[in-house]
Amino acid sequence: DIQMTQSPSSLSASVGDRVTITCQASQGISKYLNWYQQIPGKPPKLLISDVSNLKTGVPSRFSGSGSGTYFTFTISSLQPEDIATYYCQQYDNIPHSFGQGTKLEIK
Amino acid sequence: EVQLVQSGAEVKKPGESLKISCKGSGYSFTSYWIGWVRQIPGKGLDWMGIIYPGDSDTRYSPSFQGQVTISADNSINTAYLQWSTLEASDSAMFYCARSTGSSGSYYDYWGQGTLVTVSS
């Protein structure tokens, strides 16, 4: 199985801050990397597919980059509604493993 | 509008069997994969497996292979996740999600989740 390691596991930031989450794969996964947002009590929501492809309707303050084994997810200016847990997921190999999640809180 | 609607919460006893469902609408059910994801309360997301209803191609995570069965009934656009013998450790929220690609890719639409509680 490919292991996905997210960092940090939790993060406290202020409104307007730039926030970056990293995701490292245990082996190369090319561009096969997604990012999801999960608000408590809700199912995950797809934000970004294929490393950097922002899904329709997702605010442009969200972005993704990277390749191979190292990937980043960035919120350019944190908003109160961004409070959630964020997950990366690889789909290069079955099982389509998730990172352990990054819980984002407002400072 | 694409929708995945899951069956309601279940409370079961250890040793019982269970089958939960995920009904797709608003798209061609046989042309997309349906995946299942477990979330233990307060924990992260665990990918369980995926099925392509078009030809019933099914792939499992090694962690769940032999523990659950994924199936689909194309006549009613519904995918299933079932257990033959539940254990307390099976208690969790289970999500279905739609995916595309040759063996799944991004998961763009999700069901609302089915909470399974296994307790004596």
Write out B29-62 in H/E/C secondary structure: HHHCEEEEEEECCCCCCEEEEEEECCCCEEEECC
Tokens of A50: 């294929």
Residues from chain A that touch B95, judged by Cβ atoms under 8 A, are 43-44
The whole-number pLDDT of residue B102 equals: 84
Maximal C-alpha separation, chain A? 38
Q: For residues B78 and B66, give the distance between their C-alpha atoms in angstroms, rounded to a whole number.
A: 21
Tokens of B9: 């919460």
The whole-number pLDDT of residue B79 equals: 98
Taking CA–CA distances from B112, the nearest residue in chain A reads: A43
Does the pLDDT at position B12 exceed 90?
yes
Among B6, B107, B112, B114, pick the best mutation site for testing chain A contact (most A Cβ within 10 A).
B107
The whole-number pLDDT of residue B1 equals: 97
Does the pLDDT at position B103 exceed 90?
no
Across the interface, do B44 and A45 touch by the CB < 8 Å criterion? no
The whole-number pLDDT of residue B51 equals: 98
* Strand pairing report for B107-110 and A19-25: unpaired
Q: What is the CB neighbour count within 10 angstroms for residue B94?
A: 23
Does the beta carbon of A90 lie under 8 angstroms from any beta carbon of chain B?
no
Across the interface, do A49 and B105 touch by the CB < 8 Å criterion? yes
Burial B34-72 (b: 16+ CB within 10 A, else e): bbbbbbeeeebbbbbbbbbbeeeebbbbeebeebbebeb
For chain A, which residues score pLDDT lower than 50? none
CB-nearest to B44 from A1, A49, A87 is: A87
Does the pLDDT at position B8 exceed 90?
yes
Mean pLDDT of B92-103: 94
Q: For residues B60 and B37, give the distance between their C-alpha atoms in angstroms, rounded to a whole number.
A: 11
Q: For residues B106 and A29, give the distance between their C-alpha atoms in angstroms, rounded to a whole number.
A: 14
Tokens of B115: 């909470």
Does the pLDDT at position B104 exceed 90?
no
Number of H helices, E strands in chain B: 0, 11
Average pLDDT, rounded, for chain B: 97
Q: For residues B46 and A51, give the distance between their C-alpha atoms in angstroms, rounded to a whole number.
A: 20
